[in-house]
Chains A and B, each alone.
Chain A
Amino acid sequence: MTSMADWPVVHPPADPDTGERLFFDDHEWDTIEAATARVIPTDHDPGAREAGAVRFIDRYLSGIGYVYAAADGSGFLRMSGKLADAWRARIEDLRETYRQGVRDLDAIARERFGADFVSLGDPEQDAVLEQVSGRPRPAPVGLTGEDGNPTIQVYAFDDGLSFFDALVAHTRQGFYGDPVYGGNRDRVGWRVIGFPGPESLKDTIDGTYSVREYYVQDYDWGRLIPHLRGVGRA
């Protein structure tokens, strides 16, 4: 078995201009692309469609060849051993989740609107997604609500996700994740929210990339902390 420390780097990073489809068939690709475009819609800023979120998802579901990028982004790690087995099983489950998800979107779309999901207009697609999610389309953040929330996990795992939750999570990853995975084309997702992300993963290793300028530049601990000035000391 190859140690995890020596997993070789294979497959170059995704070419954002490629039309190559590794997992979805054409109808699945178009359907998932349309659904991602409702999760992060295009408005005066680019959305999931422009970011290529569907390409990101297609690569992820293609097997275990695009799970972990090499640290410097030069390609992807070829896993082996028990972790490879676990990921193979996880991806297999996700593939079935997505394939069934596309069938469900179409079934609801045909029943309610007489056409496949991909042919519907935005409001009808939203209505189908509401039904799949079992909840109304989210309202904007307001001043009311959310008193007393349960704790949440900091880290996300992909096991056991419903189709809708997987779609939302992966659209977000395809919009905001490093472009090496095939989404966030031209780093549009980062620009939309004002995140000055790195030009490349390599830049995060060698000190090229820095967010130091976003710290407070001009400060005096004595002014920030009264105790240092003797204020409030016994």
Chain B
Amino acid sequence: MQYARKPDPVDVLIVGMGASGATAAKVLCEAGLKVVGLDRGPWLRPREHFSGDEIKFLNRTYLWSDPRVNPRTVRTEENETAVPTPFSMVPQMVGGGTVHWAGWLPRPRPSDFRMRTLHGDIEGASLADWPIGYDDLEPYLSKVEWAFGCAGLDGADAHEPYRSRPYPTPPLPPTRAGKRFYEACEKLGINAMPIPQAIVTKPYRGRTPSNWTSFWNGYGDPSGMRSSTLDTFVPEALATGNLELRPESYVREVTVGPDGRARGVLYIDADGREVEQEAAVVLLCLGAVESARLMLLSKSRQHPDGLANSSGQVGRNATFHEYLFAVGLFDDAEPLYGFPGNYISGGSFQFYETDHDRGHIGGALIGASHVGQPINWNFPGRPQWGGAAKDADRDFYNHAMKIGHTLHDMPVASNRVDLDPTVKDAWGLPVARITHKAHPNDIRLAKWQVDKNVEILQAAGAWKTIPVYLERGRASGNTCHQHGTARMGTDPATTVLNEWCQAHDVDNLYVLDGASFPTATGVNPTLTIMANAWRCADHIAGVHAKGRTERLPQGRSGRAAAPTS
């Protein structure tokens, strides 16, 4: 091992420059703090590296981390040996999951922050209230929407909570599949609306809506039309002169001082040299799986069970939002087209809130979509080869649509991330092992909602509908959504972070990604992750960095106090 010269300490060190890390970098740099941002992956240049190449982006993992370099193992039961599986993969690169995403930007709902108050203890689940409420986050949801130029339609969502600002840009036109969805919803009395999307649909802050290729979900955007932190917050943070960004820097450990506080990190740079970077404050922003893994890798005399893990809760209560859907195949003459749109057109919050008549708690945001690009469009039971396969592509590629939802899965203490005892990554370190078994509520919710999606497809005139349930409780890890492995709360005995996402055990360590979510929420998490990172970064710059402490009073109006257990 070669060692590089030790760089000077900085105010704030950010590990992971994706959705949360780049948001924090922008806020902290604009507040005048000196920041070093490290990312395991590359710093790509959208106009030079991204285009509409389905093989490169969807089949050869150009943005995803390579499962041979960063493997991950999965099992459903404690006594099984976990098997290497590309579960909940997310791009490990500057910009992170905002590079490949479709850009779903729905807001969470007030109920998402109070699941335990609303539902009490559910057997087998570890429901918890958030130590913040919708009102705490609302100003920051607006900030992110306006920074990103979020496209949406004011007044269309009948179930929308309070918002302080309208949408900055109007929605995309409906796709043909979207139009069918709106018509079916009207027939069934369902309120539908364009799903808010991180894309600019009119000239906005120097960006132009010029990418109409529909090579969107899974692809990087060469035009800057779709919003990513790579194209917005990273350049904004750099423009302050306060950010030094070091890509392809693999952090192997958070180091601590004799007092147990974070001293900095050890990382391997692009040339294979080990570097120690010290900082007054360390932010973990790697995503809930990798942040938990890094905390568990950072064992020390002061933190024998992993960093900031005196509660034993690091890695636990992991939730993953399995994507479930129903496909409709149509036999009428009017093509729906398989390709336009960004995995998004119309959606609905009609089924989002708990209705006990359904036999489960929670609900889903549903969305209608096209079926994808030619190689990878698929539906269960699609003939794989021969004349039947060719006919299926010819007959249905342009005559199919999906209605899907990400699953608001229950937190379960035994669903967790820990270190695999045998499998190592390309740097020789133990990989994240995921133990995950769906809670019975997950299976019931998925079944009810997929059946409802089938009903809507039938109302839209589908010739055949194909439901995809959460069978046998085994999730495939088919979304990038990760939450819950370092939950925030007020009790240091049962949570890892406080309401500012500051570790209870280590006052200069913050975890700003989805790991802090006590419950999964039923919406795509990135807007909430970014808004929360912005809120916490404001606190770090305005309170922590000034040597003060401040706690958020609990039990304020609009949010009931958590019942004592």
Query: Which A residues have a C-beta under 8 Å from some C-beta of B?
Result: 1, 3-5, 38-41, 43, 45, 47, 67-69, 71-73, 81-83, 85-87, 89-90, 126, 129, 133, 137-141, 143, 145-159, 168-169, 171-173, 176-178, 180-181, 189-190, 192-195, 197-198, 201-202, 204-205, 207, 209-212, 214-217, 219, 221, 224-228, 232-233
- Choice from A129, A141, A154, A211 contacting B340 with Cβ under 8 Å: A211
Of the candidates A47, A82, A157, A195, which one forms a contact with B426 in the assembled complex, judged by CB atoms under 8 Å apart?
Answer: A82
Q: Which residues from 31 to 55 on chain B have a C-beta closer than 8 Å to any C-beta of chain A?
A: 41-45, 47-55
Do residues A202 and B468 form an inter-chain contact, with CB atoms below 8 A? Answer: no
A172 and B378 CA atoms in complex are apart in Å by 12
Any chain A CB within 8 A of the CB of B476? yes
In angstroms, Cα B322 to Cα A1, docked, is 37
Note all chain B residues with C-beta closer than 8 A to A180.
Answer: 53
User: Would A192 and B174 be within 8 Å (CB), given that A149-B380, A152-B378 are in contact?
Assistant: no
Residue of A nearest to B329 (CB): A141
Per-residue CB contact flags for chain B residues 461-502 toward chain A (1 = under 8 Å, else 0) read: 001101111111011111000000000000000000000000
Task: Tell me, in angstroms, the Cα distance from A38 to B52 when the chains sit together.
Answer: 28
Which residues of B from 344 to 402 have beta carbons under 8 Å from A? 346, 373-376, 378, 380-398
- Residues of A near B463 (CB, < 8 A) are 143
Binds A, one of B184-192, B281-289, B298-306, B554-562: B184-192
Q: Looking at the complex, which one of A83, A85, A141, A149 makes contact with B471 (CB distance below 8 Å)?
A: A149
Residues of B with C-beta under 8 A to A157: 61, 67, 86
Contact across chains for A40 and B329 when beta carbons are under 8 A apart: no
Min Cβ gap B201→A in Å is 11
Contacts of B214 in A (CB 8 A): 211
A212 to B383, CA, bound (A): 30
Instruction: Among A171, A173, A209, point to the contact of B59 (Cβ < 8 A).
Output: A173
A interface: dominant SS: loop
Residue of A with least CB distance to B171: A221
Q: Indicate the member of B47, B66, B192 with the most A CB atoms within 10 Å.
A: B66
* Most chain A CB inside 10 Å of its own CB: which residue of B48, B341, B374, B472: B374
Contact B153 A233, beta carbon cutoff 8 Å: no
Whether B55 pairs with A155 at a CB distance below 8 angstroms is: no
B218:A232 contact, CB within 8 angstroms: no
Report whether A153 and B86 are in contact in the complex, using a CB–CB cutoff of 8 Å: yes
Q: Are A139 and B388 in contact (CB under 8 A)?
A: yes
Contacts of A85 in B (CB 8 A): 426
Residue numbers in A under 8 Å from B222 (CB-CB): 71, 204-205
- A sample of 15 inter-chain contacts (CB < 8 A) reads A71-B49, A139-B383, A139-B388, A140-B391, A141-B329, A141-B395, A145-B381, A151-B476, A173-B375, A194-B335, A204-B215, A211-B212, A217-B173, A221-B171, A226-B186
Q: With A205-B47, A216-B173, A217-B173 known to touch, is A151 a contact of B56 (CB < 8 Å)?
A: no
Closest chain B residue to A135, Cβ basis: B384
Inter-chain CA distance A198–B366, complex, in Å, is 31
Q: Which of B3-11, B21-29, B175-183 lies at the binding interface?
A: B175-183
**A39 & B389 in contact (Cβ 8 Å cutoff):** yes
Closest A residue to B208 by beta carbon equals: A207
- Given the interface pairs A4-B42, A154-B478, A207-B223, the reply to whether A215 lies near B385 with Cβ below 8 Å is no
Q: Which of B407-446 contact A (CB under 8 A)?
A: 426
- A155 touching B58, Cβ below 8 Å: yes
Number of interface residues of B (CB under 8 A): 112
Q: What is the CA–CA distance of A73 and B194 in the complex, to the nearest angstrom?
A: 34
Minimum Cβ distance to chain B for residue A28 (Å): 20
Given the known interface contacts A3-B270, A39-B386, A198-B52, the answer about A141 and B381 at a Cβ–Cβ threshold of 8 Å is yes
Known: A71-B53, A192-B390, A205-B51. A3 touches B248 (CB 8 A): yes
Q: A148-B471, A153-B86, A173-B59 are in contact. Are A215 and B390 (CB under 8 A)?
A: no
The 4 A-B residue pairs with the shortest CB-CB distance in the complex, in nearest-first order: A204-B52, A138-B383, A149-B380, A4-B42
Contact of A146 among B53, B340, B466 (CB under 8 A): B466
Q: How many angstroms from the CA of A213 to the CA of B42 in the assembled complex?
A: 35
Chain B residues near A233: list those with CB within 8 A: 158
**B48, B214, B386, B392 interface centre (most CB from chain A within 10 Å):** B386
| A159 partner residues in chain B, CB cutoff 8 A | 67-68
Which of chain A's residues have a CB closer than 8 A to the CB of B213? 198, 204, 209-211
Q: How far is the CA of A133 from the CA of B386 in the complex (A)?
A: 13
Q: Is the pair B467, A151 in contact by a Cβ cutoff of 8 Å?
A: no
Which B residues, 102 to 150, have Cβ-Cβ distances below 8 Å to chain A? Answer: none
Question: Within the assembled complex, what's the spacing in Å between the Cα atoms of A87 and B66?
Answer: 9
Q: B338 — which chain A residues lie within 8 A by C-beta?
A: 193, 195
B375, B466, B471: most-surrounded residue (chain A CB, <10 A): B375
Q: Known contacts being A5-B42, A201-B53, is A192 close to B388, with CB within 8 Å?
A: no
Contacts of B373 in A (CB 8 A): 176, 195
Q: How far is the CA of A77 from the CA of B132 in the complex (A)?
A: 47
> Given A152-B478, A178-B55 in contact, is the A216-B178 Cβ separation under 8 Å?
yes
Q: Which residues of B contact A71 (CB under 8 A)?
A: 48-51, 53, 222
- Residue from A5, A67, A228 within 8 A of B43 (CB atoms): A5
Q: Are A1 and B271 in contact (CB under 8 A)?
A: yes
A156 proximity list for chain B (CB < 8 A): 58-59, 376
Residue of B53, B385, B398 near A194 (CB, 8 A) is B398
Chain B residues lying within 8 Å of A69, measured Cβ to Cβ, are 53, 55-56
Q: Which residues of A contact B385 (CB under 8 A)?
A: 38-40, 129, 133, 137-138, 168, 171
Q: Is B324 an interface residue (CB 8 A)?
A: yes
Give complex CA distance A140, B335 in Å: 20
Q: Which residues of A contact B43 (CB under 8 A)?
A: 3, 5
Q: Does B337 contact A (CB under 8 A)?
A: yes
Q: In whole angstroms, what is the CA distance A198 to B174 when docked?
A: 22
> Is B210 located at the chain interface by the 8 A CB criterion?
yes
B155 within 8 A of A: yes
B323 at the interface (CB under 8 A from A): yes
- The answer to whether A5 touches B44, judged by C-beta atoms less than 8 angstroms apart, is yes
Interfacial chain B residues near A194, Cβ < 8 Å: 335, 394, 397-398
Q: Known: A3-B247, A41-B386, A149-B466. Is A209-B52 also a contact (CB below 8 A)?
A: yes
A224 engages B53 (CB within 8 Å): no
A38 to chain B, nearest CB (A): 7
Chain A residues near B42 (CB, 8 Å)? 3-5
> Across the interface, which residues of A come within 8 angstroms of B223, CB to CB?
205, 207
Give chain B residues whose Cβ lies under 8 Å from the Cβ of A168.
384-385
A72 to B329, CA, bound (A): 34
Q: A39-B385, A214-B340, A232-B191 known; A154 and B323 CB under 8 Å?
A: yes
Q: Does B260 contact A (CB under 8 A)?
A: no
B193 on interface, CB distance cutoff 8 Å = yes
Bound Cα distance A136, B233 (Å):
53
- A-B contacts besides A71-B53, A194-B394, 10 pairs, CB < 8 Å: A39-B389, A83-B66, A86-B66, A90-B68, A137-B386, A140-B388, A148-B471, A152-B468, A177-B375, A201-B52
* Set B50, B174, B270: member contacting A205, Cβ < 8 A: B50
A55 to chain B, nearest CB (A): 14
* Candidates A150, A155, A178; contact of B64 at CB < 8 Å: A155
